[in-house]
Every structure is written in C-alpha cells, then in structure tokens.
Amino acid sequence: MRYDPPRPAGRLLLTPEDKDAPARVRRLRRLGLGERAEPALDAFADRLAEVAAVPYSMVNFIDENHQFFAGLHTPDPGGPGALPATAADDGGRAAPEVGRYLTRDYGFCPHVVVRRKALVLEDVCDYPRFAGNPVVDEMGVRSYLGAPLIDHTGIALGTVCVVDVEPRPWGTAGLETIKSLAAELVGQIERREGGGGI
C-alpha cells in the first residue's frame, strides 16, 4: 500500500533539506536496498518492536522524495497499540494505515538522517518543532525513538525507529538500545555487500 497524503495548504512543514540524498540513493541502489520489502528486515523490525515493547517499528530507507519501510512491524488492526480509530484527516475519513511508503514531510526519520544523530521524543507534543508534523494529528503518533544507519562510507542510509501512540519514557537505556540495534543492522548490511545476507 502506498500513502502519499496531500501537502496541507499554507502549513509550514519543517522537513530538513537533505543535501546527501543523491549520494544516499546511489549507495542504496548499489546495496540493493530501499526498493522492496525484505523478510530479513521485517524480522529485524519485529525484533525492534519486541525489544522496545512498541506497536510500530521500521527499518527506513530515504530517498529525495519518499521514505520506504523495507522492514516494518505493525500491530493487528484494532488490536492493542493500533493507531486510534478516532484519528481522521480533514475530510473526516479514517486515519491511513501504515504502509511501506511515506513522503519525506511525514514523520521524524528525515530529521535523524540529516542530523546523523539519534532522536528521542518521549512525547512529541512537548516539542513544538515536531508536534506540528502530520503524523501527530493524522496518525496519532505520540512517541518516537530513532537512530541513523551510517555505514563505513559515512553515508546515512536510513534509520531504525520505534513509534508508539502513547508517550514513552525512553530514557538513556532506550537511546543506547536503539543506537546498538542500528549499529548491528549496519554490520549486517555491510556483510551483505561482501556477499553475505542480512
């Protein structure tokens, strides 16, 4: 499923400029990443969700225009932790399902890639810079924890992240865990380049 919501008219979106996107796209293509879902990356996302005890987790590769969740874990629709049914867009329609694609204006991973540092948002609403992101109102996101996937070339390929619909006290332990898991996945990606698999 692909979800490319329209950009709200007159709304200032603070998605950072990404000067490294062309180099990232070339690197991802060489690695064969970012264009299709991969069972190994879905399994990694499942593990992220289990470790962090969250309903949503992603292995996210970002190009010039979109984010692609090559690894994705979501709860069963209507199950515990699912996006609230009350979240709706301006037309009164139900909130979109979490699919494999998202524009760069949605979410927080583009910030992680450009900053090249982990991002901890225990309650997104506490941060004016991030509280206005469309995922907050339209999808019910309240908490985010993500780390960049920086390989040996120095390119930030994407992120690993976990998301919840409730505020979460991630703390130092959460930050260290997401950074450790990001480093682990980078190691797997680099082994893939050498002929191994993820």
pLDDT digits (tens, 9 = 90+) for 70-125: 999 998 765 545 554 434 344 443 444 568 999 998 999 999 999 999 999 999 99
Domain annotation covers residue 48:
yes
Domain annotation covers residue 59:
yes
| pLDDT tens track for 123-159 | 999 998 898 888 988 889 999 999 999 999 999 999 9
Q: How far apart are CA 198 and CA 186, in angstroms?
A: 10
Kindly report the CATH number assigned to the domain that includes residue 46: 3.30.450.40
Q: How far apart are CA 56 and CA 28, in angstroms?
A: 23
**Alpha helices (runs of H) in the chain, residue ranges in sequence order:** 21-31, 39-52, 109-115, 128-131, 134-139, 171-193
Q: What six digits make up the tokens of 105?
A: 């204006």
Domain annotation covers residue 13:
no
Domain annotation covers residue 165:
yes
* Number of separate domains in the chain: 1
Residues in Cβ contact with 140 at an 8 Å cutoff, skipping those fewer than 6 apart: 83, 84, 87, 95, 165
pTM for the whole thing? 0.82
- Sign, Cα dihedral of 182, 186, 192, 196: negative
Domain annotation covers residue 158:
yes
Tell me what pLDDT residue 198 has: 72
| Domain encompassing residue 33 | 21-193
Domain annotation covers residue 8:
no
Domain annotation covers residue 179:
yes
| 3-state secondary structure at position 14 | coil
Domain annotation covers residue 99:
yes
